[in-house]
């Protein structure tokens, strides 16, 4: 009962409405298709940020390797699209028609076994969820069951990101190497490149994002959400309350991986290619920065972080390409030093109280005093 | 080993327990037995290995040698959460409660249901949980603070909350590490009252320095010194043991 009535508290409900209004109405009406497609690209990172809120913000598990899962999801999607784009007619100039172009360039004459199932869209969708999910399960089990945590875990995830990048670049006959998988064209015969397709894909992505927000919010409100918070503070107390801490960490890490993978798959669809430059150490750290800037304890904050930092990245790197990385670094330092709870923390400290006061004064005018006190001071 | 004079109904049987940290034996060939409904207090000078003994029983530290039998189950082979499920609860020396959660949520997490990942996803805050949380909150003097964040509680209240979190687990063996340390005089009296109420129907193993408090509650006292038992018996007997007076009570 309590949970049903209060799926969102008042400030979260406002966050939900504002985000829904901006993404569903304001941006599609005010931006041209090119800019809207850029927003779609930023939103793919919002999925990653959402996962990091659960895993890092709530569970206290800092992963510097989310690019791995973003990449796995993206590559699964890209493999399906690439196979469809490499039909025999499209590739008849190759020495072996019907296989992806980069395989042909690398003297591979038949489709490798692990590529075969990606002819099926059902398999691909399952793989987008399961491949990163199972990979996270293996890493999580190996690390958390041995009580590897904190900085050591972060370093290992970073190493995994480096390894996967090297693997993808090195095996270019199977993966497209440093260039990635380009020239993706159709999804089940439906062209993903023209403007109207971009708009539809944008809306599909926003709907998926809201579904993921729903899942994350549901998890946050169950006892599992509270155990994650408890674990972050007093791991031993959770253990001696009868819980297997490792299993809960594995769960949070796997959820973050699956969210990141969905983002990656949407990236391949919206942007039309996938490359190792979205997998490695630098993109993985950038993902943590979006989350930190937005506020790692806040679902909506992190999503705004992903959108705004990427927007800044595009605008700044259009005008001052060399300055961007310094700007990003400075931003991260500023967040850590000056406002550790990110934008959502600033919002909760400075904006929310004003809004609450506005409500309170209006309410007291209509003689609702008793409610306004309890309602107006949610300890965020 | 001690088969000859081991009566049948021990709740906890520790025998030949040894743990060494890089060659230093913090606990050395320790054996003791706790009966059902017994209140045992462990005393001893600093560094005697008191907290280490609790760590060994609850699985925080792994024993180098020896065995810990709890109702016939060997605890040294179990993980911490399995030991909790077997019925052993442990309170830490410094209050360890979840500061970012409310008193209600702290107690709810300790409620023994839905302890797996999927169990906790489907856990419902039903009437049984609410009633039990309220009942325990009343016992630990925090009934009117159910919606207060634990970070806003005083030191003594945090200690009570942690005791409450153990109570709600309803363990057969309750282990308390210095439950009244750092408390004010009035808090101490209330805690003694609380402990006297909760020790019914269960065995309790307490580490405490406050001798007045020990005399009040202990059935039997074990004095540890350098990882070994120096003396064991009733408070009266231990107090008059010349060895104990020399290393511990004398100061």
How far apart, in whole angstroms, are the C-alpha atoms of residue B60 and residue B65?
Answer: 15
Closest to A143 measured CA to CA, from A246, A289, A286, A11? A246
Query: B89 and B175 in contact (C-beta within 8 Å)?
Result: yes
Q: Indicate the residue of B90, B98, B108 with minimum beta-carbon distance to A240.
A: B90
Q: Find, in chain A, the residue whose alpha carbon is nearest to that of B85.
A: A242
pLDDT tens, A261-293? 999 999 999 999 999 999 999 999 999 999 999
Query: A262 and A46 in contact (C-beta within 8 Å)?
Result: no
The encoded tokens of residue A116 equal 């075969």
How far apart, in whole angstroms, are the C-alpha atoms of residue A158 and residue A63?
Answer: 8
Interface of A with B (CB under 8 A): 2-3, 219, 222-224, 226-227, 229-230, 232-234, 236-245, 247-248, 251, 379
Q: Are strands B10-21 and B65-70 parallel, antiparallel or unpaired?
A: antiparallel
Query: B106 and B150 in contact (C-beta within 8 Å)?
Result: yes
DSSP string, A300-315: HHHHHHHHHHHHHHHH
The verdict on a CB contact (< 8 Å) between B149 and A238 is: no
Supply the DSSP symbol for B5. Answer: G
Per DSSP, what are the bridge partners of residue B14? B32, B68
- ipTM score: 0.88
Interface of B with A (CB under 8 A): 58, 60, 79-81, 84-85, 89-90, 92, 96-101, 105-106, 108-110, 112, 114-117, 120-123, 125, 149, 162, 165, 169
In a mutagenesis test of the B interface, which of A236, A237, A297 is the best target, namely the one with the most B β-carbons within 10 Å?
A237
Q: What is this structure's pTM?
A: 0.90
B162: chain A residues, CB-CB within 8 Å? 237
Q: How do the pLDDT tens digits run along chain B, 251 residues long?
A: 455 555 557 899 999 999 998 888 889 999 999 998 888 999 988 888 899 999 999 999 999 999 999 998 999 999 999 999 999 999 988 888 999 999 999 999 999 999 999 999 999 999 999 999 999 999 999 999 999 999 999 988 999 999 999 999 999 999 999 888 888 888 888 888 888 888 888 999 999 888 888 888 888 999 999 888 988 998 888 888 888 888 877 65
DSSP string, A208-241: HHHHHHHHHHHHHHSHHHHHHHHHHH-HHHHHTT
The encoded tokens of residue B35 equal 């009966």
Closest to B203 measured CA to CA, from B191, B189, B220? B220
The verdict on a CB contact (< 8 Å) between A237 and B101 is: no
Query: A88 and A98 in contact (C-beta within 8 Å)?
Result: yes
The encoded tokens of residue B16 equal 């030949």
The encoded tokens of residue A313 equal 């990245």
């Amino acid at each position: 009962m309590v949970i049903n009535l209060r799926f969102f508290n008042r400030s979260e409900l406002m966050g939900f409405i504002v985000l829904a209004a901006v993404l569903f109405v304001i941006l599609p009406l005010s931006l041209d298709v090119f800019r809207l497609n850029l927003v779609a690209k930023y939103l793919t990172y919002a999925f990653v940020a959402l996962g990091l809120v659960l895993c890092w913000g709530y569970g206290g598990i800092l992963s510097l390797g989310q690019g791995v899962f973003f990449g796995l999801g993206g590559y699964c999607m890209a493999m399906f699209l690439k196979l469809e784009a490499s039909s025999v007619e499209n590739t008849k100039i190759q020495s072996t028609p019907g296989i992806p172009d980069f395989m042909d360039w690398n003297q591979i004459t038949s489709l490798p076994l692990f590529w075969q199932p990606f002819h099926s869209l059902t398999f691909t969708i399952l793989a987008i969820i399961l491949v990163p999910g199972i990979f996270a399960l293996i890493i999580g089990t190996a690390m958390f069951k041995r009580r590897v945590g904190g900085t050591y875990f972060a370093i290992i995830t970073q190493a995994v990101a480096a390894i996967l990048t090297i693997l993808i670049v090195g095996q270019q006959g199977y993966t497209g190497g440093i260039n990635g998988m380009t020239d993706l064209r159709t999804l089940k015969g439906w062209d993903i490149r023209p403007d109207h397709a971009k708009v539809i894909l944008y809306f599909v992505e926003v709907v998926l994002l809201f579904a993921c927000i729903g899942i994350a919010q549901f998890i946050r409100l169950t006892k599992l959400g509270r155990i994650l918070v408890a674990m972050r503070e007093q791991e031993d107390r959770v253990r001696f309350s009868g819980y297997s801490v490792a299993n809960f960490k594995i769960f949070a890490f796997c959820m973050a991986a699956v969210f990141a993978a969905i983002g990656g798959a949407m990236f391949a669809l919206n942007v039309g290619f996938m490359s190792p430059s979205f997998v490695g150490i630098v993109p993985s750290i950038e993902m943590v920065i979006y989350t930190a800037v937005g506020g790692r304890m806040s679902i909506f904050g992190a999503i705004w972080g992903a959108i705004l930092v990427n927007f800044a990245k595009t605008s700044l790197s259009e005008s001052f390409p060399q300055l961007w990385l310094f700007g990003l670094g400075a931003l991260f330092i500023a967040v850590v030093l000056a406002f550790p709870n990110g934008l959502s923390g600033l919002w909760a400290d400075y904006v929310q109280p004003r809004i609450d006061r506005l409500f309170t004064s209006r309410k007291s005018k209509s003689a609702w005093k008793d409610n306004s006190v309890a309602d107006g001071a949610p300890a965020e | 080993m001690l088969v000859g004079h081991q009566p049948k109904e021990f709740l906890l049987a520790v025998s030949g327990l040894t743990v060494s940290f890089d060659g230093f034996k913090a606990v050395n060939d320790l054996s003791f037995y706790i009966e059902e409904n017994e209140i045992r207090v462990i005393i001893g000078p600093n560094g005697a290995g008191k907290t280490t003994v609790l760590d060994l029983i609850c699985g925080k530290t792994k024993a180098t040698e020896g065995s810990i039998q709890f109702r016939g189950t060997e605890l040294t082979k179990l993980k911490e959460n399995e030991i909790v499920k077997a019925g052993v609860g442990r309170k830490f020396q410094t209050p360890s409660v979840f500061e970012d959660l409310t008193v209600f949520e702290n107690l709810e997490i300790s409620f023994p249901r839905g302890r797996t990942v999927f169990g906790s996803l489907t856990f419902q805050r039903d009437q049984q949980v609410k009633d039990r949380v309220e009942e325990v909150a009343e016992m630990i003097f925090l009934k009117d603070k159910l919606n207060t964040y634990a970070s806003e509680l005083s030191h003594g209240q945090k200690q009570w909350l942690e005791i409450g979190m153990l109570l709600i687990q309803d363990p057969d063996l309750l282990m308390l590490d210095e439950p009244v340390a750092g408390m004010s005089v009035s808090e101490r009296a209330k805690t003694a009252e609380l402990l006297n109420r909760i020790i019914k129907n269960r065995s309790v193993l307490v580490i405490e320095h406050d001798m007045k408090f020990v005399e009040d509650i202990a059935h039997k006292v074990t004095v540890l010194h350098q990882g070994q038992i120096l003396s064991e018996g009733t408070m009266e007997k231990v107090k008059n043991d010349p060895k104990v007076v020399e290393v511990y009570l004398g100061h």
